[in-house]
Amino acid sequence: MTELYNIALEILGNGKGILAADESTATMTKRLDSVNVQSTSENRLLFRETLFKASAMKDCIGGVILYDETIKQISSEKNTIPKLISSMGSHPGIKVDTGAKVLAGSSDEKITEGLDGLRERLKEYYKLGAKFTKWRGVYNITKDFPSKLSICSNAHALARYSAMVQECNMVPIVEPELLMDGDHTAKDCYQKTSEVIKKCFEELILHKVDLKGIILKPNMILPGNKSKEKISNEEVAKLTLDCLKNSVPSEVPGIAFLSGGQSEIEATENLNLINKINNTNFIMSFSYGRALQQSALKFWSKNIQDTEGTQKVFNHRAKMNTLAAQGKWSKEIEN
């Protein structure tokens, strides 16, 4: 499993992080609609390829999570997309779950599906050039949720997925996301995130997953988006680090945070503050979708042929997050 450990380090080492470009066609259509660009497979590819060829890929992005459509597309230079990403010094990855569906027995909660036929799909993705994969479990925070049923079901699915991925010589990203939606406090988020992550690792160990060959993709500890509670970024960093220190086994090489509803600047600032106080052996980096792409998408939509201008916007965001992953970001550098 040394090979998987090395891949995980290459993805997250030296301040590099992950570009989450694995939006489903439906999600990507919403994003493009929001900036008045028609969602065709050509336009979806054009935007993504513009980012994949940006210079920041070499220094800031260690891995790119792709969607099934994208990993099979051919670039404008007649290269496969995984080859294009590899040529930029980054690892291609793939989202392999088939989405969150209603959880039987708890209709207000979700279970992530996609285990049926997964082994065959993994073999295909590996042949296409994927080096790592992603599966997202999603949880609500309320007085009653996440329920024991949701915590156990999603942890079990994440573990079965991870075991199969390692069997196919790829690094699994384990993503248990507790959603920001709601009026919960940061303390509620802390307690429930902790419970969910501990259960995930219990199942991963039970399924004989090598923890040295995975990447954890958790949420940061934040109050809900409808909560009256306001806490400082320093407090977010302290609570997040504390939660992970107490729930993640030391063998795990790296943690790549999701941005989960934070603005681009918030996601960068919080990551920076976490790294300023990070006294663990975990690499703490980023696996951002919107928080890396939103400004670039807005710029690109004004003229989808302006590759250079779009890349400039993306390069800046990627560079800021790489600094944050090393605790070297500041508002002065940002502006």
Contact between residue 94 and residue 64 where contact means Cβ atoms under 8 Å apart? no
Could you give the residue numbers annotated as active site?
A: 175, 217
What whole-number distance in Å separates Cα of residue 331 and Cα of residue 327?
A: 12
- pLDDT truncated to tens, each residue of the chain (335 aa)? 799 999 999 999 999 999 999 999 999 999 999 999 999 999 999 999 999 999 999 999 999 999 999 999 999 999 999 999 999 999 999 999 999 999 999 999 999 999 999 999 999 999 999 999 999 999 999 999 999 999 999 999 999 999 999 999 999 999 999 999 999 999 999 999 999 999 999 999 999 999 999 999 999 999 999 999 999 999 999 999 999 999 999 999 999 999 998 999 999 999 999 999 999 999 999 999 999 999 999 999 999 999 999 999 999 999 999 999 999 999 999 99
Q: Is 212 helix (H, G, I), strand (E, B) or coil?
A: helix
Domain boundaries, the chain: 2-334
List the one residue out of 188, 263, 177 whose CA is nearest residue 220: 177
Domain 2-334 homologous superfamily, CATH = Aldolase class I (3.20.20.70)
Structural tokens at position 324? 């944050």
Structure tokens at 132: 């790592």
